[in-house]
Each structure stands twice: as C-alpha cells, then as structure tokens.
Chain A
Amino acid sequence: MTSALLAVVLLPLLGAAINGLRSFASPKEKKNRTITNAVAIGATALSAIIATFGVVMPYIGHGTDTPFEHSYYTWIPAGMGQVTGGFLSSFDVDFAFRVDPLSCVMLMVVTWVGFLIHVYATGYMSHEEGYTRFFTYLNLFMFMMLLLILGANYMVLFVGWEGVGLCSYLLIGFYYDKNFAADAGKKAFIVNRIGDFGFLLGIFLIFNTFGSADFSKVFSLASAGGEAQYGGIATAICLLLFVGACGKSAQIPLYVWLPDAMAGPTPVSALIHAATMVTAGVYMVVRSNVLFRMSPTAMAVVAIVGALTAIFAATIGLAQNDIKKVLAYSTVSQLGYMFMAAGVGAYTAAIFHVMTHAFFKACLFLGAGSVIHGCGGEQDMRKMGGLRKYMPHTHRTMLIATIAISGVPFFAGFFSKDEILANAFHYSPLIWIIGAATAGLTAFYMFRLYFMTFHGSYRAARVEGHPESEPEHAGHNVISGMRHLDEGDQHSDKAHGHHVHAHDPHESPWSMTGVLWILAVLSVVGGYVGWPAIWGGSFPTPFQHWLEPVLLPIGGHEFHFAHMSHTAEWILMLLSVGIAGLGILLAYRFYKRDESWAVPTRLATRFAFVHRVLENKYYVDEFYNRFVVGGMLLLCRVLWWIDANIVDGLVNLVRHATVFVGGHGMSLFDKFVVDGAVNGVAWTAGRGSGALRRVQSGVVQNYALIMGGGIILLGVVYLFLKP
C-alpha cells in the first residue's frame, strides 16, 4: 500500500513532467494532441484507479479505526536542541502520507472528479494553442492536490497547499497574453499568500506547542491534554490556521480573488475553483478539528465568518449577469456554508457538503462551459436563452445540478445542506436564520441562471449592440470559448468579447456531455450516504459513522453528533425546503413566466442603489485597490525616495563634509597609494580603457569620506560605550 500510495501521487507528476517537456518540443502538430491526451488522462486515470483499489479498498479491508501512515524520508532535518526554553528535542519534518477516513473521502473526490474534468477538457480545449501546456498544469495540479490531502503533517500539507496555489496562478493566467487573465492569476496568488502567512505562523506555533507538525503526534497530544492544557494556545493556533483557510477557500475578507479566477478556462474553474482546491481550507479545518474543538472562540469565528460569507456572496450572486460569475459567487457562498458547518461543530456535514458540492458544482461549471462552448464564447446570460432546444444534454444535466444545489429533497445538495442547517440551529438559531436565508437566495439565483439560460428564446441577436450588453467587467466574458467555436473561426480574437453569432448554438461533443451526465447522476445519488435518521436512516448516518475515527476525544470526552428531537428536525427540514421552494418559485415568476423580466427590471429601477451596489459587488475590489494596494504603493514610493535621498544622501553628505575638512591631507596618500594601484590596474586593463583614468578623479573625496566616516563612527561608538 505504501508504494500504491506513492504511485497515486507521483503518476500525475510524471504526466506533468512528460507533457511539460513535450510542450517545448513541438507543440503545434495535431497528432501530438493524442499523445498529450494519452499521457495526461492516462496518468490521472491510473492514479484514480490505484487510489480506489490500491489504497482505499485495502484500507477499508484493514479496518478504518486507525489511520495508515508511512514516512518515505526525512524532508527537513534540523536539530532544535538549542532553544532557550529547551523543550524541543528535534525538528524533523518527514515526507509522509496518511490515509484515514477523511483523506479517503477527499482522495476519491479529487481523483475521480479530477479524472472526469480531464476528459471533459480534451473536448473543451481541443482548439486551444497551449493544449499540452494546459494539461501539464492540470496534471501538476493533481499532484499538488494529492500531496495536500494525503500529507501526514502540516508541512507536506503546506507544500500541496502552496503548490495548488501555484497551479491556480498558472491556470488562471493560462491566457497570459490577456492582461485581465495575468492580473487575475497574480491576484489569486498574492491573496493566497496573505492567507499562507497566517497558516505558516500557525504551523510555527504548532511546532512550538507540540514539538512536531505530524498530525498523529499533534492530535494525540491535544486529545490527551485537552482544553485544560492547550485551551489558550489552541485559540491562537486555530485563528492563524483559519487565516490560511480564508485565503484558500475564499472567505471574507480574502474572497476577492475567486470571482476574478474565472478568467481561467472553464474546466479549471470547475476543477480548481469549485470542486477541489477551494475546499482545501475546509479540509484543513476539519483535519484540525481536535484543535478547533478546544477553542470555542475559534469555532465561533469560523461559524460567523462562514455564515457571513455565505449570505454576502449569495446577495452578490443575485445581480450578476455573467454565467461564470454567478457560479463563482455561488461557490464562495457554498464554501461559507461549509465553514459555517465546521464552525458549529458539524465537521462531518462540512465534508459531506464538500463532496456533494464537488459533484453538483463541477456539473454546473462544466455545463456552463458547454453553454459557453456552444454559444461561441458568450458568457452574458442576457444573450442566451432558449438553449434547452439546442443543447438537450447540457440542459438536463444542468437542471439536475441546479435542483441539487437548491436543496430540493432527494437530490444530493439537500442532504448535506439539511444536515448543516440542523446543526446550525442546534448551535445558534441566528446562524440557522442566516443559513436558511442563504439557501433561499441560492435557490433563487440558481434558477434565475437556469431560466435565463435555457428558457425563453435565444436572445443573442436581440441584445447585440445593446449598450447595456457591454458591461464593464471587461475580460471576464471573453474566456476561451471564442477560439474553438469551430474550425472556421480560428482567426476570431479571443479578446474580442462579442462574437458574431453566425451559427445557432450547438450541443457539445460526447466527451463533454458524457462527463456532465456522470456528474449529474452523482448530484442525485451522492447524497444518499447521508440519509437522515428521521427518514428511517441510521443515527449517526453512514457518512458520519465513516468519519467518526477522525473526531478524536478531547481530554477524555468523546465526540457526540448533535442530536435533536425528530419533531424539531422535521420542522427545520420543512422550513428549509419551503424557503428553497420560495426561491425557486420567485425565480420562476420573475424569469420564466414573464419573458420580458418586468418584475426584476422594475425592482432594479425601484431599488437602483441596492442594485448598483450588488452589481458592483459592494465595491470591495475598488476599496482594496484604492486603500490597501494604493496605500502600500504610496508607502513604497516614499521609502524609495527616502532611500535615494536620505539613506544614500547621508553617505554623500559625509563625503562632502570630509572632503571639506580633511581632503588635503589625504591627497598625499592618494597620490602614492591609490594612484599607484589604479595605474597598475590600468596596465592590466590595457591602453584603451580611458574609463580607469576617470576613476582617479573620484578617488580623492571618496577615500577621504571613508576614512573620515570610519573615524567619526569609531569616535561615536567610543563615546557611547565608554564605561
């Protein structure tokens, strides 16, 4: 199993290495695409298969109560024996993997969803110029993501953590010659780095507290010591870790990079910015649940930040017209939901939602990609409409995923969402209200998206040239699609956002719709592992039971799943379903029954201010740009001025002063010693170097400066330190 585990991780790296070298060799030929496909998909497929049958199955057969860990080698060895406090003996960080129920769930989601999206991308990216480069990055991402979820200590996790950030940077900026894409990539990396700063400090603090960063060691110590011993420090550690999670998983205040990340090709948005990477923060918090549970403060912070992000992003989602933007804010909102779950103590529900969300959000993003693909690169929903006629598969699968995310019973999203809401109510009714309201908003904007895209009539022609159809979000509606409408459009410019719709929208190839169907099925059945007790399921649910070994006892107190009376659960469930239904109904009234969208238009004019604020995402980006970035740049310029005029100016001042005082005395020394040296040098450099003659003229003052400066300094030191 140790070698199988290594193969799972290294295969994608191997794929990336091969394709990476090939991408320089001969990137343009057609048959190379087949090789690229074979390498990239082969690597991920093998990795997924080995993960299933070589890792997860044997692990289950072995019994899931204890984690399986293996250290491959000592990565960073450095004795720490000299600490003044003297409580740390060693500081070895191993390159080690860990398989436990939590990493199994993540492993299955990452490898299989990753594989599916690879397959989809062969269709979606088929006409792209950097085809091989794209799959190199994608495979590299898989490698890093696997490191992240399989690492047996915080350090290996951190390698994956920053590694996926790198891949995200490269893939968002895939169309690097478009400024908006390069900007978005950089923004993602830097905002993530801000989070990583907190994460890194958290790791230092873990080292200081537990003398190790190994999960097993840290958690067993924490579990044994309990709140009495680690309560205070746990708060600090958890808050720092959570800063990292906020960066990676796009929570307030670090969420701003994720909507911009939609500049990447759509498969990337699905894989990295919906299904896998952005959930890494949730994974990390659940992974550290032993630490978080010791700190009610940290838990409350997580819950509140999560809840606020959930509703905040959902409100922005209401007013967006770019199909990918809606999904991006929806992702931010759903991630907030997951943190809310973790914060209220429902760790299993958080991971459950990570899983179901991976299915339906991947399906939605890929469906959106299919729509964009079919509409020749259009992303503005106001120019879509009626697509169900043209794209039946995309339409049906997206409908299923939309129902799933809205929380309609018997679809995957319902089960995870319901579990979260029940736990939230148990924790605090206020959190429940926010969560339920978010669920309603989600149902509304998702069905708004669905109706605007697939119902009514095709509006591309109608809106063409309409001034409103040129929104200022330049760039975000010009993703890859333009390139690959069909062979005839090879010359169309990707940057030109408004393609002339010479053709009707068309359905995408099977490599894309097939993947959509698989994900659609998963969006339904994926939730049945968490069948609730009030519907005759077991308590705890199979999924909860599966993750139970991860929830270690603290100070002797076992973990208990929140338990409520059946009546209360029924009421909560009916309420949340009712709220979701209300959202769907409103969307139907606003965007389906009335084709002219009279109601929403009237609302937008009536509450113009609110609408404008929402449409502009609360002006948070503007605020950051003006005050944070602008302020820092101002500071930099001031410092630069100081550097040139004061720090360096002092040097020159000393020079002038010494020249004035003692320049004459030095000239003698200069004549014999320095000139002699310079002349010798001039001989070496040859006759032609007139430069060296010029050297001489400068020497007098400068030498004086130095001698004088040194003596002054010595004098100052002497005076200060004289006992």
Chain B
Amino acid sequence: MPILSIVLWLPIVAAVALAFFPRAADSAIKAFGLFASVVTFIMSLFIVTGFRTGAAGFQLVEMKAWIPQWGINYALGIDGISLWLVMLTTLLTPVVLLSSWNAIHKHPKEYVISFLIMEAAMIGVFVATDLILFYVFFELTLIPMYLVIGVWGGANRVYAAIKFFLFTIAGSLLMLFGIIYIGFQYQHATGVLSFAITDLYRVGVTPYAQTLLFFAFSLAFAIKVPLFPLHTWLPDAHVEAPTGGSIILAGVMLKMGTYGFLRLVLPYFPEASIRWSGLLIALSVIGIVYGALVAWVQPDMKKLVAYSSVSHLGFCVLGIFAMNQASIEGSILQMINHGLSTGALFLLVGVIYERRHTRLLADYGGIARTMPLYATLFIISVLSSVGLPGLNGFVGEFLILAGSFQTEPIAAVIAATGVILAAIYLLWLVQKVFFGPVTNEENRDIKPIAWNEVAAMVPLIILMVWIGVYPKTFLAPMGPSVRRLINIVKTEGNAPVLVADESAGEVARAPLGGAK
C-alpha cells in the first residue's frame, strides 16, 4: 500500500471534490473539509505503524519516473527526521478546520481548499526524496498561504502577504540554482543525472563551491525559520493572518526551514556546515534572546507569540548546529513541541479575538473569571511553551541545551537565559489577559469557549502531556536517522573532500560510512 502517496494525495483529491460543492453549502463544505483532513490524519497513523524504528534510512519508499530525461523522479520516503513532522501536519490541519468552524464567513469554500492544498504541499515537502520534487512542494506551500493571508487576513493583509511571499521566495530562488548545480555536479561525476536526495549525498564539491552553496541553501532556510535578522516578515504575517493561517504558519511552515537544514544543508555541505556553524549558532542564540526581549514589550498578543516563535525556533537551529545526537533529537522534538504549543496559543488567541475583535493586551484583564475553562487551556499551553518539566517543551529544550552544552557551552549558557525570558513574557501575557479585576466591561459577559474550539485543543493538550511524560515514543524512531546524519557530517566533514574527477566516470566519494 503506497501509504505516503495516499496521505499526500488525499487532501488534494478532497480539494478537487470540494471545488464542485455549491458555494452556498457552507456547513457541508466545512464538514467535508474536516472529514477529509481527519481521514488523512487517520491514514497517516499507518505511517507510524508501518515505520520500523531501528532503521536509519528512508522507509516506505515509493518511486515513479517523473521527468526521466532529467533524472527527476516522483520519489517519496520517510525517516526518523521527517516522520513526526508529517504527523504534525496531518494533525494540525483538522485542528485548524475545526477551530475555525465559526470564524470564517468570507469564501469558506476557498478557505478550506487552500488549507487542504497547503496540507498536501507540506506533507510533500517532508516526504519528497527527490530534490526537485522537494523544491516544487516547498514553493507550492507559498501560494495557499499567500492567499490565506491576503484574502482572509486583517486590515494590513496585503502588505503582509506580499512581504511573506517575496521574502521567502527570495531565498528559495537561490536554492534552486544550488539544486541544479548539485545535480549537474553529480552528473559530472557519475555520468547520470539524478536529483535523488540520497544520491546527491555522495557528490563532492570543492570547498569553495560548498561554501557558496551552503549560503544559498542556508539563506533559503534561514528566512523560512526565520533566523535573526531575517525574521521581520514573521510578525507582520502572523498579525495579519487569520487564526488558521497563523497556526499552520507557525506550526508547520517554519519547520520546513529547520527541516531543510537537517535534510539538505548538513549532509550536502558537511565541511561548510562545520566551518560556519559558529555563525549560525551565533544568529540562533541572538534570535533566542532578542526574540524573547522584543516579545516582552509587544502590546499585541499575536505579535508577542510571533516573536516568541523567533526565540523558540532559535533553539531548534542551535540544536541542529551543535551537531550531536541529543541536541539534534531535541531540535526535531522541539519542532513538534513548538507546533503544538504555539499552534495552541495562536488558536486560543484566535478564540478571544473572535469574541472581542481586539488582540491588544491592554483591552483585557480578569478574563479568568469570565472564561475559566479557556483560561485553563491557555495557561497549560503557556506552561508547555515555557518549558515546564512534565510537559513537552521541557524535554526538547533540555535535550537541545544539554547537547549544546557539550559542544558549544557558551552558546548553551546564553540560550538557557531564554528559559527565564520565556517565563517573563508569557506570564506577563497571562497576567495581563487573565488576572486582575475585570477592567473592561465588554469582557464581563464574553461568550465561553465553544465545543469545537475545546475539541480542537484536546489533542494538542494530550500530546503536550504525552511528550512531556513519555517522550520515548517520539524520540526512539529518530535515533538511528539522526545518528546516520551525524556520521555523514562528522566523517565527511572532517575528511578531505574528493572532487569529481574529470576523467573517471564513477562516484567520486565512497559510499557513506556508518550508514547501513
């Protein structure tokens, strides 16, 4: 059973089917969209059950020739690095559709279609094992998100949408050049043109080219993450995006950047990655502290959470470039954690925005009395984001910091202050919104949180506790893939790079050591 294809195409099929729905059939459209995304999620569970935990390489692989003359294939596969990101995507999409059940009044049909296409594209990014296919999906995610922000966004949505679109496409264009270059380089060495991700691991490029390519790819992914100082599109995009857009943007799309670092940058350019790791670690540590400090003084709840994302994603990049088992596993786990906790926070901010049409902290206060269940859910999400032990955030942050502390102690110490700062700005948010007397009369009879919103939160909360208490479920499948990745970087990064020999028509670099 080509389970990856099923999961990948189901949302698209559903989106196509939706196109034939009558425009007025509001709830039918929403119900069908939700149904399709839930089915996709259920199907994606088979990926987990079919996944063999001990193996390092791609599993459940599928391969069809796509453009054979250029060596481009429709090739799918999954490993410990991408497994949970796919699951996160299939989980968050129904969460979004469920939570925005009553929130979208304008063009609900297009809204649902956009999210289903987006879901497919994001899954595609994580399961593609062909570089061109990866790139296609990578770019494809932009279009529905661009629409979601531009059509269903807030007052300044057009500016934000364009900024988002151009910022992210800027980097990826450079990456496209890089991809083509590597492909030709492979052809140069082997005589065959291929864009299979693992084939290209064997390509040796000169240190000089490696550096250039490293920066081309890194720029694309650093914008996506976003890494300081390329982050300014993010607060704008989040503030203007509708709730669902923010959840997906923060929950999954940003992870495409960190995923790119892991999947492509580290194994393709091991030497450059090691040489320039200091720069990326510095930027991520700056991002951690800077994002947290700027978050503290935001008057707008969404902007606060957006800047907190800059801070949290800094942890992920730090973990990646600290380059050891614990830190990278922590980094992958933290991608999931951030998707859950920040997704939950955006969802909950959306809940209150629906009711009061303001996101300014100053307009709230004392909501805990009027919406106790809402307050409880919010505080649990905040605690998860703060990294309270027993919830998910702690495990990820701990692994990242403990791992980084071994290889990059100074960076880890500075990054660890982010743990204090997170408590400061998030508890500040909680206090301003929920505690104190009800100062604004409009907050007094605010409508309580609705069933669909609670239902959307439940899986997120369950996972927060699950990952916090028993992270083994999530860490165990990662281990071998991460170990393999580190072997590639460490053994090849320190070995002299073999340049493709002009005369010889064979693979210039020996098959990877350490990998099975």
A82-B325, A640-B297, A721-B211 known; A162 vs B471 contact (CB < 8 Å): no
Encoded as 1 (CB less than 8 Å from any B CB) or 0, chain A from 177 to 207 comes to 1110111001001100110110011011101
A570 interface hit (Cβ, 8 Å) = no
Q: Is B389 within 8 A of A78, CB to CB?
A: no
CA–CA, A200 and B422, complex, Å: 15
Encoded as 1 (CB less than 8 Å from any B CB) or 0, chain A from 589 to 632 comes to 00000000000000000000000000000000000000000001
Residue of B nearest to A156 (CB): B389
By a CB distance below 8 angstroms, the chain A residues around B323 are 82
Identify A24's interface contact among B162, B231, B373, CB under 8 A.
B373
A163 interface hit (Cβ, 8 Å) = yes
By a CB distance below 8 angstroms, the chain A residues around B169 are 706
Q: Is A176 within 8 A of B434, CB to CB?
A: yes
Identify B293's interface contact among A73, A635, A684, CB under 8 A.
A635
Q: Is B174 within 8 A of A709, CB to CB?
A: no
By a CB distance below 8 angstroms, the chain B residues around A463 are none
Identify B420's interface contact among A162, A197, A637, CB under 8 A.
A197
A162-B388, A681-B147, A685-B147 known; A76 vs B475 contact (CB < 8 Å): yes
CA–CA, A77 and B325, complex, Å: 11
Q: Is A79 within 8 A of B479, CB to CB?
A: yes
A208-B406, A684-B147, A713-B219 known; A82 vs B483 contact (CB < 8 Å): yes
CA–CA, A622 and B170, complex, Å: 49
B39 interface hit (Cβ, 8 Å) = no
How many of chain A's residues have a CB under 8 angstroms from any CB in B? Answer: 83
B368 interface hit (Cβ, 8 Å) = yes
By a CB distance below 8 angstroms, the chain A residues around B402 are 91, 203-204, 207
A489 interface hit (Cβ, 8 Å) = no
Residue of A nearest to B428 (CB): A186
> Of A339-347, A496-504, A546-554, A696-704, which stretch is located at the interface?
A696-704
A77-B476, A197-B417, A691-B157 known; A714 vs B174 contact (CB < 8 Å): yes
Q: Is B325 within 8 A of A685, CB to CB?
A: no
Interface positions of A from 682 to 723, Cβ below 8 Å from B: 684-686, 688-689, 691-692, 694-695, 698-699, 702-703, 705-707, 709-710, 713-714, 717-718, 721-723
B407 interface hit (Cβ, 8 Å) = yes
CA–CA, A378 and B174, complex, Å: 71
Q: Is A163 within 8 A of B294, CB to CB?
A: no
CA–CA, A685 and B114, complex, Å: 10
Q: Is A76 within 8 A of B170, CB to CB?
A: no
A509 interface hit (Cβ, 8 Å) = no
Most buried by B among A163, A178, A640: A640
Residue of B nearest to A143 (CB): B390
> Of A304-312, A430-438, A524-532, A643-651, which stretch is located at the interface?
A643-651
Interface positions of A from 472 to 502, Cβ below 8 Å from B: none
CA–CA, A632 and B407, complex, Å: 29
> Of B183-191, B277-285, B435-443, B498-506, which stretch is located at the interface?
B435-443
Q: Is B399 within 8 A of A82, CB to CB?
A: no
Encoded as 1 (CB less than 8 Å from any A CB) or 0, chain B from 154 to 179 comes to 00011101110011011101100000
By a CB distance below 8 angstroms, the chain B residues around A686 are 107, 110
Q: Is B437 within 8 A of A177, CB to CB?
A: yes
Q: Is A698 within 8 A of B159, CB to CB?
A: yes
Q: Majority SS of interface residues in chain B?
A: helix
Residue of A nearest to B174 (CB): A710
Identify B475's interface contact among A78, A176, A189, CB under 8 A.
A78
Q: Is A692 within 8 A of B162, CB to CB?
A: no
Residue of A nearest to B437 (CB): A177
A633 interface hit (Cβ, 8 Å) = yes
Identify B110's interface contact among A77, A194, A635, A684, CB under 8 A.
A684
Q: Is A79 within 8 A of B167, CB to CB?
A: no
By a CB distance below 8 angstroms, the chain A residues around B459 are none
Q: Is B406 within 8 A of A83, CB to CB?
A: yes
Identify A637's interface contact among B107, B208, B297, CB under 8 A.
B297
Q: Is B486 within 8 A of A82, CB to CB?
A: yes
Interface positions of B from 430 to 479, Cβ below 8 Å from A: 431, 434-438, 469-472, 475-476, 479
A53 interface hit (Cβ, 8 Å) = no
CA–CA, A635 and B428, complex, Å: 17
Interface positions of B from 373 to 415, Cβ below 8 Å from A: 373, 376, 383, 388-390, 394-395, 398-399, 401-403, 405-407, 412-413
Q: Is A639 within 8 A of B157, CB to CB?
A: no
CA–CA, A694 and B158, complex, Å: 7
CA–CA, A710 and B19, complex, Å: 37
Most buried by A among B151, B395, B407, B469: B151
Identify A698's interface contact among B158, B173, B296, CB under 8 A.
B158
Q: Is A76 within 8 A of B211, CB to CB?
A: no
B423 interface hit (Cβ, 8 Å) = yes
B509 interface hit (Cβ, 8 Å) = no
Residue of A nearest to B476 (CB): A77
Q: In angstroms, how far is the closest chain A Cβ from the Cβ of B93?
A: 19
Interface positions of A from 51 to 75, Cβ below 8 Å from B: 73-75
Interface positions of B from 190 to 232, Cβ below 8 Å from A: 208, 211-212, 215-216, 219, 229, 231-232
* A/B pair count, beta carbons within 8 Å: 215
A76-B471, A79-B479, A681-B147 known; A695 vs B162 contact (CB < 8 Å): yes
By a CB distance below 8 angstroms, the chain A residues around B263 are none
Identify B166's interface contact among A177, A178, A703, CB under 8 A.
A703
A653 interface hit (Cβ, 8 Å) = no
Identify B470's interface contact among A73, A80, A203, CB under 8 A.
A73
Q: Is A699 within 8 A of B162, CB to CB?
A: yes
Q: Is A200 within 8 A of B416, CB to CB?
A: yes
Encoded as 1 (CB less than 8 Å from any B CB) or 0, chain A from 651 to 686 comes to 100000000000000000000000000000100111
Interface positions of B from 356 to 378, Cβ below 8 Å from A: 366, 368-369, 372-373, 376
Residue of B nearest to A20 (CB): B376
Q: Is B296 within 8 A of A633, CB to CB?
A: yes
By a CB distance below 8 angstroms, the chain A residues around B253 are none
Q: Is A182 within 8 A of B406, CB to CB?
A: no
By a CB distance below 8 angstroms, the chain B residues around A639 are 290, 293-294
CA–CA, A299 and B368, complex, Å: 45
CA–CA, A189 and B425, complex, Å: 12
By a CB distance below 8 angstroms, the chain B residues around A706 are 166-167, 169-170, 173
CA–CA, A227 and B323, complex, Å: 33
A35 interface hit (Cβ, 8 Å) = no
By a CB distance below 8 angstroms, the chain B residues around A722 are 208
By a CB distance below 8 angstroms, the chain A residues around B56 are none
B271 interface hit (Cβ, 8 Å) = no
CA–CA, A85 and B416, complex, Å: 22
Q: Is B170 within 8 A of A78, CB to CB?
A: no
CA–CA, A82 and B490, complex, Å: 9
Q: Is A78 within 8 A of B329, CB to CB?
A: yes
CA–CA, A666 and B469, complex, Å: 55
A14 interface hit (Cβ, 8 Å) = no
Residue of B nearest to A186 (CB): B427
CA–CA, A73 and B483, complex, Å: 23
Q: Is A190 within 8 A of B158, CB to CB?
A: no
Q: Is B294 within 8 A of A643, CB to CB?
A: yes
A88 interface hit (Cβ, 8 Å) = yes
CA–CA, A714 and B401, complex, Å: 33
CA–CA, A698 and B163, complex, Å: 10
Q: Is A702 within 8 A of B163, CB to CB?
A: yes
A159 interface hit (Cβ, 8 Å) = yes
A81 interface hit (Cβ, 8 Å) = yes
CA–CA, A651 and B164, complex, Å: 12
What are 29 A-B residue pairs whose CB atoms fall within 8 Å in the complex? A24-B372, A73-B472, A75-B469, A78-B329, A79-B325, A80-B326, A81-B483, A82-B490, A159-B389, A163-B389, A176-B435, A176-B436, A182-B431, A190-B423, A197-B419, A201-B416, A207-B405, A632-B296, A681-B147, A685-B110, A688-B107, A691-B158, A692-B150, A694-B158, A698-B159, A703-B166, A707-B170, A710-B173, A721-B208
What 17 additional pairs, Cβ within 8 angstroms, besides A186-B428, A186-B431, A632-B293? A78-B326, A79-B483, A80-B325, A166-B388, A177-B437, A179-B435, A179-B437, A197-B417, A204-B401, A204-B412, A633-B296, A639-B294, A643-B232, A648-B232, A689-B107, A706-B173, A722-B208
